[in-house]
Amino acid sequence: MSLEASLAGAGVSIVHAAVPGRLRLRVRGLKGVSSLKRALEGALRGAHSISAANASVATGTLLLLFDPRSAAAAIVGAVEDVLLRYSAGKLELSAQPRAAPWHALRVDETLKRLRSSMQGLSAKAFTRRRRRYGENVLPAIPARDRMEMLLEQFQSLPVALLIGAAALSVVTGGVADAIVVVAVVALNAGIGYVTEAQTERAVRALSQHAREGVPVIRDGKRQVVPVESAVPGDMLDLLPGVIVAADARIVAADGLAINEATLTGESSPASKSAQPLDHRNVALADRANIVYRGTVVTGGSGRAVVVATGAATEIGQLQNFLSGASAPDTPLQKHLAQIGRRLTFLAGGACAAVFAVGLLRGFGLFATLKNAIALAVAAIPEGLPTLATTTLALGVREMRRRRVLIRKLDAVETLASVDVVCLDKTGTLTFNRMSAAEVSCDGAAYRCDNVFSPPPPGSALRRLAEIVALCNEAPEDEKDPHNGSAPSATETALLDFAKKAGVDVRRLRRDYPLERVSYRSERQLFMTTLHSARRGAKLAAVKGSPEEVLGLCSHAALRNETVALTAEMRRDVRQENARLAGEGQRVLGVAWRAFRGENPPPGGLVFLGLVGLADPLRPGAAELLGALRRAGVHPVMITGDQRLTAAAVARALDLCDGGDPQIIDADAIPMLEHMSKDAKIPQVFARVTPGQKLEIVKALQRAGHVVAMTGDGVNDSPALKAADIGVAMGSSGSEAARDVADIILQDDRLQTLIPAIRQGRATHANIRRAIRYLLATNMSEILLMLLAPAFNLGQPLTPAQLLWINLVTDVAPALALGLEPPHDDVMNGSPTPTGDDVMDARSARTLAREAGFITAGSLGAYLYGVLKYGLSPRARTICFTSIVAAQVLHALGARSEKHGLMSPDLPRNPTLSGVVAGSLALQALTMAFPPLRSLLGVAPIGRLDLAAAIAGAAAPLVANEFVKLTGSAGTEANAARTI
C-alpha cells in the first residue's frame, strides 16, 4: 500500500490528556515517517493556540503544548485536519534543505544548492522560505507530567512497606490501623507532590531569559532580525559577540574564532575558515568551516550561509532527545541518596532485630511484623534527596529576592565551596564606562577634560581623532540602529573624544566609506579598517596594543610632518605608555597609512600617538575584596591591560590588603601547569587573552581549588563556562556571557556576590542541619523500639503511632530548618571542603549522642507509665507524647552545633517556631479529638502523666544544650561544623 493510501485513513487517539494545556496523541502513520513528523510540527506550531509540537517517529506519538483555555477536542481536530491535508498532498512540507555534507562542499557549490548568494536572500525569497520552513525555534522540552509526578510518590520501597502494613492490618482485623496507614501514604504523597511541583516550577523558571537579535545580510544590506526569523539560505554576519542563530556553512572568515562549548563541551575557542574539508566523515568538533546554533563568536569576523534551522540544527536534534529525559541529580542529591540507601539497610537490620526480639518475648507474629514494618517506614529517611532539592530551591528563591539569578540548583552547593574568585577587571570591577582621559600626540600630552580645545584641522591630534572615529564601529548617533552586536565601551569613548576634538563623524565616514574590517583577535591585538579615499586612494586605520601598533610603524606624525621613527622616539613612546598605564589608564596606540591597491603593504604605518582611557571603579569593589578575604576566599584580578595599568588598579582596590600585588604576565601563565594547592595564588594576571583566562581557571582547578569566574563580555564566556561557578553581569553583560553563566547578577552590583556566597554556605548548612535532625530523630525511634522489648517492657508504640510520628516530626521541621537564616559567623570560616561527608565518624558520634538523649528521655517517660499503669495503652500514650514532643523540640536545638538555644548569635527563624508550635498542637489534638484518639490508640492521661511526658521530652533538649554550653561538643563541632 502506498504512503498516501495508508495515511488516507489515518487518525489520532489520545494517550494522555490529564494535564491542562498538555496533550499526547498517538498518530497512525507517523511511526518511521520523517516527512509527516516535519509536516505536523511545521503546521501545528504557532497555530490553534499551540506553543510547541514535538512528533516522534520512534514511538508514533505527538506531544502538544497549548493554551489551557483551549479545548482538547479542538486541538485533536486541528491535528486531524493537518493529517487530511497532508494525505491529500495539499500541505506544503516544512522540510529543511536536503541534507548534504556541507563541510565538504566548496563555497560556490553550497550557495548554489541553497539558492542563495553573498548578498543574502531577497525579501521575497525570505517570505517564501519563512512560510515553508516555519520559525527557527528549538523543540520545547516539556515540563514533568503532573500525574506522573504524583504517581512517583507511590513508587518507593517505604510506600510498598506501608501498603504491606495496611494489608496485614486488614488481615489481622486492624481496620483502624489500615486507615491510618492509608492516610499517612496519602499525606506523604501530597507533601512530596507539592514540594516537587514547586521545585520544578522554580528550576524551569531559571532558564527563562530574553534573547537578542542576530545580524544577517538580506538584499545586500546588513540588518538585525529576531533569531526566530532566520531561514535556510540566510547570510549570517558573524561579528564578535554574536550568538550564532542556526547551523551554517562559513563562506568568508577573517581570524574567525567560535566558542562551541554549548555543543561540544570544549571551552577553548575554535578557529574557523571557509575552506572545504577533504573528507565527508568528519567529527562535529572538527568541522572547521561550519558554525552551529547557540555557539558564540569570540574573535575575528566572517559570514556564513544557513543550512539548518530549528529542530534540524545539531542542538535542536540534541534537545529532541532531551524531551523524554529528566535533569540529573545534583552531587549533593546523589550523596544523600547514597546515605539514604545505607541507612535503609541499617534500619532494616534494626527492624529485623526488633521483630526477632518481639517474637522471643511472645508478642505474636502479625503484631510484631506490623510493628517492624511500621518502624522501618518511620525510621528510613526516604525524603533525603527531596529535602536537598527543596532546600536548594528555597535558597535559589531567597537569592532571587536579592536580584541574584541562579540558573542551576547545584550552583548553590558549589557556592559553599568556592575558595578562589577570579574577577575580570573591565565591566566587573569597573563600570566599563570608558572615557578618554589623556592623549599623547605630537610630542605633547593633552588632558581630555572640560577645558580641552578642539585642535586645528591638519594637526596630528586632529588626524588621530579622525582615525579613532574611522577605526570604530560605534554609531555616530546613539539613536541610529547599529549594524550588529552592541559597540564596546572603548569604541564609544573614542567616538566621544573625536566629537570633542571637532570631528564631524557622519561627514568623515561618508567621505571615507568603510570597505572591510579586520577585528582584534588573540593572535592580533589590534583592529584595522580599510576605507576608500579620493582619486582611487585607500586609507588604513589602526588602533590597539601600543607595543604591537608601534611595531607596525616605520614613521611618526611630528609637527605637521611625517618623519622616520628613530630608536629614541620609540623609547619616548614606551615611556609615555608606561606613565599613562601607571595612572591606571587603558592605553591604545593609533596609526594610519594611505596607499593604493586592494591591500595595504605590511608594516610601514605612520604612528599618531597614544590614547589613555579611564574606567571608574565600581563603588564597593574594594570592600568586596576585603569581605572575600575575611571569608577565606582568594580574590584574583584578571585583565587584558598591561602590567602597569593592572598594578595601579590593584593598588586602588587594595587587592593585597596594603601590600604589593603579585602580578603574573601572560607569558608566565604556562608556569601554572604544575601549581599545587598549597602554592601562593597570584593576585593579578595582566595582558591576558580570552584563551588565557581559560588556562588560568583550569590551572587553579587542577591545583584543587573551587573557582568562581566573573565577567561580562564575549571574551569571558569560555572561562565562565569552564569555571566551577560562572558569574555574569545581568544588565551590562553580553548575552554570550549570560548564556554560559551559572549565576547572573541582575543589577550588576558585584557586592551581591557576597550575599550569594553567604546564602550558598547557609543553604549547605541548612541541608546539613535538616539531615542531622532527621537522622537523630529516626535513630531514636529505632533505639526505643529495640531497647524496650529487650528489657521486657513490651512494645512502647503501636504501628499507627509510629506512622504518626513519621508524619508529624519528619517533613515539616526538616524543611523549616532548611529556611534557617544565615548565621552571623557563616562568612568567618573557611569554605566548605568539596565532597564534605555529612556522615563521617565524628558526625556519627554527635548523632548517636543526640539520638541517645531523645531515646533516654522517652524511655524514662515510658518506664514511669509502665510502673504506674503496667503494659497498657496509657503507658504507650505517655511514651508516644514524650517522643513526639522530644523530636519536635530537638529541631530547635538542631539549629546550631555550637550556639545555645538562647544565644544572641542565633537569628530568628519564625517558620521553625511556627512549625514547632503547630506540630505540638497536632500532638495535643491526638488526645483531644476522639476519632483521632481512637485511630492512634491513645488513652486519656492525667496531669501528672502529662508532666512526666513533657519532662521526658524536655530532658534531651536540656542535655544537648548543656553539652554545647560546657564546650564538650567543641571538637565534634569543629570536625563536623555547621557550614
Asked if residues 895 and 905 have their Cβ atoms less than 8 Å apart, the reply is no
Rounded (10°) angle between helices 34-44 and 72-87: 130
Instruction: Tell me the three cell numbers of residue 860.
Output: 524514662
Rounded (10°) angle between helices 873-893 and 910-928: 170
Q: What region does 445 belong to: left with phi over 0, alpha with psi -120 to 50, or beta? A: beta
Residue 766 CA to residue 764 CA, distance in Å, equals 5
In 3D space, the residue among 75, 78, 94 whose CA is nearest the CA of residue 36 turns out to be 94
In 3D space, the residue among 701, 700, 684 whose CA is nearest the CA of residue 641 turns out to be 684
Residue from 177, 254, 424, 442 carrying the catalytic annotation: 424
Asked if residues 174 and 166 have their Cβ atoms less than 8 Å apart, the reply is no
Q: How far is CA 747 from CA 401, 619, 750, in A?
A: 12, 13, 9
Residue 926 CA to residue 257 CA, distance in Å, equals 70
In 3D space, the residue among 871, 889, 865, 833 whose CA is nearest the CA of residue 941 turns out to be 865
Beta bridge partners of 685: 638, 664
Residue 707 CA to residue 862 CA, distance in Å, equals 53
Q: How far is CA 513 from CA 66, 244, 471, 490, 531, in A?
A: 50, 27, 11, 21, 5
Task: Count CB neighbours of 680 within 10 A.
Answer: 8
Active site residue 424: yes
Q: Residue type at 634?
A: H
What is the three-state SS of 948-975? HHHHHHHHHHHHHHHHHHHCCCHHHHHH
HSE toward the beta carbon, residue 457, CA cutoff 13 A: 3
Alpha helices in 69-156 (DSSP H): 72-87, 107-113, 123-133, 146-152
Burial of 439 (0-12, 13-18, 19+ CB in 10 A): buried
In 3D space, the residue among 420, 404, 412, 418 whose CA is nearest the CA of residue 330 turns out to be 412
Rounded (10°) angle between helices 331-360 and 753-790: 10
3-state secondary structure of 724: coil
Instruction: Tell me the three cell numbers of residue 420.
Output: 578562589
Residue 344 CA to residue 157 CA, distance in Å, equals 10
3-state secondary structure of 260: coil
Question: Which residues contact residue 79 at a Cβ distance below 8 angstroms, ignoring those fewer than 6 apart?
Answer: 12, 25, 27, 40, 44, 62, 64
Beta bridge partners of 11: none
Sign of the Cα pseudo-torsion (241, 244, 245, 248, in order): positive
Task: Count CB neighbours of 205 within 10 A.
Answer: 13
DSSP for 382-397? TTHHHHHHHHHHHHHH
Beta bridge partners of 557: 562
Torsion angle of alpha carbons 951, 957, 963, 967, nearest 10°? -140
For residues 443-462, b (16+ Cβ closer than 10 Å) or e, as one string? eeebebeeeeeebeeebbbb
Q: H or E stretch including 945?
A: helix 943-966
Q: How far is CA 337 from CA 333, 396, 473, 819, 919, in A?
A: 6, 21, 54, 21, 27
The residues that are catalytic are 424
